[in-house]
Amino acid sequence: MTQPLDELSFETQLVHAGERAGWPTGEPTTTPIYTATTYTYDSMVEVDRVFAGEERGYVYTRYGNPTVAALEEAVRLFEKGAGACAYSSGMAALHAALLACELEPGSVILASQDLYGVTLQLLNTVFAPFGVKVALVDLSERERLWAAARDLRPRAILVETISNPLLKICPIDVCAEVAREVGARLIVDNTFATPYLCQPLELGADFVVHSATKYLSGHADAIGGVVVARDEADLLALRGVVKTVGGVLSVWEAYGILRGLKTLALRMRQHCENARRVAERLASHPLIRRVHYPLLVENERETAARVLRALSGGGLVSIELKDGSREAAFRFMEALRLCVRATSLGDVFTGVLHPATSSHREMSPAQRAKLGISDSLIRISVGIEDVTDIIADLEQALEKSMR
């Protein structure tokens, strides 16, 4: 393609990014799967230059691979960053982004209290034992956010664009302003939003993290993670983590995720439209105590208007049953006929998860209660099926949950 991709629409970029990067003969129309672990050259001078980064090329797949590089370039383009680095999972990617912030004993990570449960584990069981201090803050309380940042002078601020599982929208623009004032690096986990709904680097973030397992792949058949950096200078640290820690993304996974990206815009439009209709329908259901969905809450709508693509609240809906018990939640999930009981999200099918026994099970009941994660909370990753079929399945399961 001769026309620069950054001059084309997002939807067109999704189809062509990472492809036809330049081949000696017979250029393939899609990126091949390069299974080779090593690469050879006629000249040792060339090898030396590639090792040094002075010349484009590959020597060992832990250092780089053409299939993986195609995925990295595609996600870099979508997030409008200086560069991207892929990893074996979303957690490996998040770990790398934190390491790139040059944390040391005494450094502070200021994090949203509404993070994925395993992310909190990473902070408390991997970084804290090495003397890194972790402080949690409610991002909806802006005065406390500012006060905590000015008092603690964090090295890194960690947030999620859309929180897991209560689906709160992060005021990324405000967090970026806070980070700039106190000299912190802002890391945004953009997994739930994807670059289709939000591009955090444009709002002032330093790093964007994706669990590519979710919406980027979209088909429940690949695990991976990606970090996109705003500044090219951060790429050395990000790639250094892959080389030394070894969280290398498989070429097969890279190929699957790159293929999934082609339909991201189409899928996200349907995910979001279906989620809106599910949320609006369930909001008045007599067996539901509360529906968590950004566009149903006034202050969340205001933040979403600044952070997300217009009139979009994402593809997830969380509900709390009026019964309030874990038993009712289990009965509801076991009664589902179409929706799939699955511990992930962002797939083409509708997936349903019970946070208290999955994503946040390592927390104590008191900790979950403090965050608003009740035993009857259920997270629904709304798929791209016909929404009337999704709603019918949810409603029949609700009726059975009360028996």
Positions marked active-site: 62, 116, 189, 214
Q: By the 8 A CB rule, do 178 and 197 touch?
A: no
| Angle formed by the axes of helices 66-79 and 251-261, nearest 10° | 40
Of 32, 97, 34, nearest to 237 by C-alpha is: 97
Token couple for 156:
């890194």
Of 94, 87, 69, 37, nearest to 248 by C-alpha is: 87
Of 371, 362, 357, nearest to 326 by C-alpha is: 357
Query: What is the C-alpha separation between 401 and 132, in angstroms, rounded?
Result: 44
Rg, C-alpha atoms of the chain: 22
Token couple for 369:
């209660």
The number of beta carbons lying within 10 Å of the beta carbon of residue 128 is 13
Give the distance between the most distant pair of CA atoms in the chain: 74
Phi, psi angle pair for 356, to nearest 5° = -60, -25
Query: What is the C-alpha separation between 144 and 92, in angstroms, rounded?
Result: 30
Region class of 218: left (phi > 0), else alpha (psi between -120 and 50), else beta: left
Q: Long-range contacts: 241-245, Cβ < 8 Å, 24+?
A: 241/85, 241/87, 241/95, 241/96, 241/99, 241/100, 242/62, 242/63, 242/85, 242/87, 242/96, 243/62, 243/63, 245/92, 245/95, 245/96
